[in-house]
Structure 1
Amino acid sequence: MEYRKIKDEDNDGGGSSSGDLESLRGKPISVTNVASKSSELANWKRKSVVTLALTVLTSSQAILIVWSKRAGKYEYSVTTANFLVETLKCALSLAALARIWNHEGVTDDNRLSTTLDEVIVYPIPAVLYLVKNLLQYYIFAYVDAPGYQILKNLNIISTGVLYRIILKKKLSEIQWAAFILLCCGCTTAQLNSK
């Protein structure tokens, strides 16, 4: 929408309608164009920060879990730790939503609403996620943090295979080659170097 508005303004100003930089030479820079560029820069910065945070958090999770073991055991309840993590995530999400509501108000885009059909299917991924998070703690009894991160990439392969079988979607030859290379990489990383 913003792009179309800028392009229409450029076309109304006369001259070439190609929209390239040469056709804009000598024309005044519109405030809308500057605002659009600053908005794009802000979005890029926000995406960069989120990507960096996600990378740091996901890579440090395995290290922190292994670091919290004492003599091969956890000195805390794994179930309670999982519950507290999910409670913290829920609290942060609600705080972010409250902040959005304070700045923008409640709109159709940010209103909390759901239907019974949606709520019925929520327990399926929730239980799978719970089991995955609990198993993660027990996996670290047998695998070190770097090995876990490498083995975790095997979920990409299983996702691709299930994507093909369940959803009946075709994968390209390049995607299959990538799956095979990833599988070989995960396997060779686990070989004993001695």
Structure 2
Amino acid sequence: MWKSFDWVDLFPTKKSFIVFVLYIGFSMNHGLLVKLSQDKGIYTYNIVSVILMTEFMKLFISLILYLKDNPLNSIIDQTRKNYTVIFLYLVPSILYCVYNNLAFVNLSAFDPTTYFIFLQLRVILTGIVYQCLFKKDLSKIQWLSLILLTIGCMIKELKTEDGIRPLSNGYLTSLLLMFIQILSSCLAGVYNEYLLKEGQGIKINIYIQNMYMYFDSILCNFVLWITVKYENDHYTSDIDLFKNKMVCKIIFGYWFS
């Protein structure tokens, strides 16, 4: 039997609905703005620098929101007591670093519509991982939605005006990087939720946890930024550099890349 659906369970307050709508709007506009910033499919700026500035901005906003109700020295006190959480947030920070940079890479290979349809596959992976990790069964209508979403993605991408799209090496590489981005988002989201609800971060203020993750993200992106700046002379663009690095690490492993 199909379970009855109650919108109150999904949006218990008006604020939660507004946050949901804003999240969808910002997500869609992010992809469109990134695509519009390209010059004939090429970025004329350093994409890692943009992500670094974004992480700094998020860190600053989290700090301001925390200081609105708490003193500054409480951050130091909580960090001393829960310093291990900073290291735990390195995992989602690395995954989000990969996700954010691959967003620019994949938007240079796919049009926004295809990109967003592919990106929805993370819902499927997240649902499966979430069910296995948190032991919460998905309803039949949720599984049906995931199946329909998968079929829609396959039809949209394989079907072209001239028939079935040919699977060239470049196209397969783009699909591989798209899958890595989806997987990174899925694992980071589930891991982050575990830290917030059941892990060591359950007793720590949410804004402090955000600051930990953004701080770790800044470190990860800074390392990537140094790598891009150092090796950029050997590649035609930052996109080519990042794509080659990702493919090499997948095929040959870290020590052979």
Q: TM-score, normalised by structure 1?
A: 0.65
**Alignment partner, residue 119 of structure 1:** 86
Quick one: higher RCO (CA 8 Å, sep 6+), 1 or 2? 2
Structure 2 CA distance for aligned equivalents of residues 143 and 100 of structure 1:
44
Displacement of 1:164 in angstroms is 4.3
**Alignment partner, residue 146 of structure 2:** 179
Displacement of 1:151 in angstroms is 0.8
> If each structure's helix is expressed as a fraction of its own residues, which one has the higher value?
2
More displaced stretch, 48-57 vs 124-133: 48-57
Structure-2 change in CA distance of 1:158 and 1:52 (3 Å): closer
SS at match of 1:71: coil
Residue deviations 1:108-144, cap 9 Å, x none?
A: xxx5424133222110000000000001110012111
Q: TM-score, normalised by structure 2?
A: 0.50
Cα RMSD for the two superposed structures: 2.4
Structure-2 change in CA distance of 1:58 and 1:167 (3 Å): same
Q: 2:44 aligns with which of 56, 75, 82?
A: 75
Query: How do 1:81-160 and structure 2 match up within 5 A?
Result: 81-101=50-70, 112=75, 113-114=78-79, 115-160=82-127
- How many residue pairs are counted as aligned between the two chains? 144
Gaps of at least 5 residues in structure 1 are 1-42
Structure-2 change in CA distance of 1:178 and 1:49 (3 Å): closer
**Alignment partner, residue 65 of structure 1:** 34
Gaps of at least 5 residues in structure 2 are 1-11, 162-257
Structure 2 CA distance for aligned equivalents of residues 60 and 44 of structure 1:
25
Amino acid at match of 1:118: V
Structure 1 CA distance for aligned equivalents of residues 29 and 20 of structure 2:
14
Structure 1 CA distance for aligned equivalents of residues 122 and 88 of structure 2:
22
